[in-house]
Amino acid sequence: MMRQYELVERVLKYDPKADEALLNRAYVYAMKAHGNQKRASGAPYFSHPLEVAAILTELKLDDATIATALLHDVIEDTDATRTEIDQMFGPEIGSLVDGLTKIKRLDLVSKRAEQAENFRKLLIAISTDIRVLLVKLADRLHNMRTLEHMKPESRQRNSEETLDIYAPLAGMMGMQALREELEDLAFRWLYPEAYEAVTDRLIEMRKHNRGLVEEIRQAIARKCADAGIAAETTGREKKPYAIWRKMENKQISLEQLSDIYGFRVIVDSIEDCYRVLGIVHTTWGTVPGRFKDYISAPKRNNYQSVHTTVYGPRHQRVELQIRTREMQHTAEFGIAAHALYKDQQYQATNGHDVEGADDSPYGRLRAMISSLLEAANPEEFLEHTKLELFHDQVFCFTPKGRLIALPRGATPLDFAYAVHTDIGNEAIAAYINGRHVPIDTHLRNGDEVVIETSKNHVRSAAWEAFAVTGRARAAIRRAAREAER
């Protein structure tokens, strides 16, 4: 298990201004709170939040996110309360931990729910703070890495959820390495035979092609050097799940499988990207229909690169990605790449701003994610997934964390009737996330709703206009008739 000082040092290394005392406090608090609890593997429970925090240090996330990772299971699994977290760590971390607690409760509620249901949960998380989602993804990654200790049913369920929901989400957020690891772990448990066949074939091809990858890599590197371009060229084998998906989509067999290698050329400037492209295209024959310029037209998750495929040395099909160092950083870390940036730096490095974003860098990221979701282009993001976006419902919580699903446009009055008819009949106003609001306010995903009631209130039929659900409207009519009598 990682030591306390090791974790703190890791954070300080990329963020010297990080709050050391906060990290220490969170470490000790979570360790004590989980006490003697054990994981399915028999390891101390605390090793799990600690690993989750470690994963997030690889993404270089801020101190609040790391502290949240350490604390992410304490409210649900120990005696710790939200109030206590707020007092010890401040309301910012309190609300982040609360977000993760809500997601965890939803997991318990809807064990047998459809995939789309799961996706909605994530939407709720997104709507509060993007960091909740980053911690959730790291949480899922660690659980997937340790899946062998779980029962077969939960292995199956976790793997399905991971393939359908979390891996695509990581991709949507531009975090490719995270996506690939989640996919391969899930693939291994869901389709063990296919996984084995693909990895066996990979090993065989590796033996067969030994030298070829290096030969191609050197050929590209030499051409760049001849033109006086400083370039870093790497060759890379595709991941088992990506290969399998390709086989499924294109209906090809393992034997026909050829282009399992990809090459990447990293250069200093955009100009050099196009110069390398020119060299490659004039040296080798291009494969038609494979050229894509994501530099002049970046993907919605800010991914930038030039892609092309050529018939390279020994007439091998060679897939190439050409990009700058900055583009590489964004491609690797996605959303998290900008997590530590101050606003101005973020804009300067990013070039294009997000409309309607709030002032904080995280507000910006959140706005970016919601715009990704709203404009979800099936071809770009949801390819190969079963995800569906549902815009017709809002999910809200009681103060105790019970989930209330309502149609879009629903009000606290609908919420009150959904909880209990008596509460509905006595409802006069509400608090949404602690703010006093009128009874006809539209609810939004993730809202925590407290209903203000009055025993003396006499319901009139006019209140029907404040509700949208059939249940609430019928109950209002009934209460109004009784009141008249």
Give the contacts of 107 (CB within 8 A, at least 6 positions apart): 121
- Residue from 19, 20, 58, 76 carrying the catalytic annotation: 76
At its nearest, how many Å lie between Mn ion and the CB of residue 46?
11
Residues in the chain: 485
Q: Are 406 and 470 in contact (CB under 8 A)?
A: no
Q: What is the DSSP letter of 367?
A: H
> Least distance to Mn ion from the beta carbon of 48, Å?
6
Phi-psi region of 434 (alpha: psi -120 to 50; beta: other; left: phi over 0): left
Helices (H), 235-333: 240-250, 270-283, 325-333
15, 20, 77, 107: which one is catalytic? 77
Give the separation between CA 106 and CA 117, rounded to whole angstroms.
10
Are 377 and 359 within 8 A, CB to CB?
no
Q: Which stretch binds Mn ion (CB under 5 A): 70-78, 390-398, 420-428, 448-456?
A: 70-78
If one asks whether residue 63 binds Mn ion (CB under 5 A), the answer comes out as no
On whether the CB atoms of residues 217 and 317 are closer than 8 A, the answer is: no
For Mn ion, give the closer residue by CB, 73 or 129: 73
DSSP state of 41: T
- Interface with Mn ion (CB under 5 A), residue from 51, 63, 129, 139: 139
Instruction: Report the residue closest to Mn ion, judged by CB.
Output: 139
Question: Is residue 62 a contact residue for Mn ion (CB under 5 A)?
Answer: no
Question: In terms of CB distance, is 82 or 300 closer to Mn ion?
Answer: 82
Name the segment binding Mn ion (CB under 5 A); options: 72-80, 346-354, 365-373, 458-466: 72-80
- Return the SS3 of 469: coil
Using the minimum distance from each CB to Mn ion, give the nearer residue, 55 or 443.
55
Stretch (H or E) spanning 317: strand 317-324
Q: Is 259 a catalytic residue?
A: no
Neighbour-count burial of 452, counting CB atoms closer than 10 A to its CB (0-12 exposed, 13-18 middle, 19+ buried): middle
Residue type, 74: V
Phi, psi of 233 (to 5 degrees): -110, 130
What CA–CA distance (Å, rounded) separates 169 from 202? Answer: 27
Q: How far is the CB of 52 from Mn ion (least distance, A)?
A: 6
- Contacts to Mn ion from residues 425-454, by CB under 5 A: none
Quote the CA–CA distance of 189 and 155 in Å, as a whole number.
7
Identify which of 190, 107, 118, 113 has the alpha carbon closest to the alpha carbon of residue 147.
190
Distance in Å, CB of 95 to Mn ion, minimum: 18
Cα–Cα distance, 136 to 120 (Å, whole number): 14
The least CB distance from residue 241 to Mn ion, in Å, is 23
CB–CB of 52/97 below 8 Å?
A: no
Cβ closer to Mn ion: 51 or 62?
Answer: 51
* Least separation in angstroms between CB 70 and Mn ion: 11
Residue closest to 56 by CA, chosen among 146, 131, 165: 131
CA distance 121 to 437: 24
Query: Phi, psi (5° rounding) for residue 250?
Result: -95, 5
Q: Which stretch binds Mn ion (CB under 5 A): 15-23, 139-147, 194-202, 299-307?
A: 139-147
Burial of residue 139 (CB within 10 Å: 0-12, 13-18, 19+) is buried
Other C-beta atoms closer than 10 Å to the C-beta of 124 total: 22
Q: How many residues bind Mn ion (CB under 5 A)?
A: 2
Choose the binding region for Mn ion from 74-82, 133-141, 368-376, 437-445 (rule: CB under 5 A): 133-141
Name the one range near Mn ion by CB under 5 A: 137-145, 225-233, 301-309, 382-390. Answer: 137-145
Give the interface segment with Mn ion, choosing from 24-32, 69-77, 178-186, 302-310 (CB under 5 A). 69-77
Among the listed ranges 38-46, 135-143, 249-257, 339-347, the one in contact with Mn ion (CB under 5 A) is: 135-143
- Whether 63 contacts 89, CB under 8 Å: no
Query: Is residue 267 within a helix (H) or strand (E), and if so which, with residue range?
Result: strand 261-267
Instruction: For residue 232, indicate whether it is catalytic.
Output: no
Give yes or no for residue 73 binding Mn ion (CB under 5 A): yes
Binding residues (CB under 5 A) for Mn ion: these are 73, 139
Name the residues annotated as catalytic. 76-77
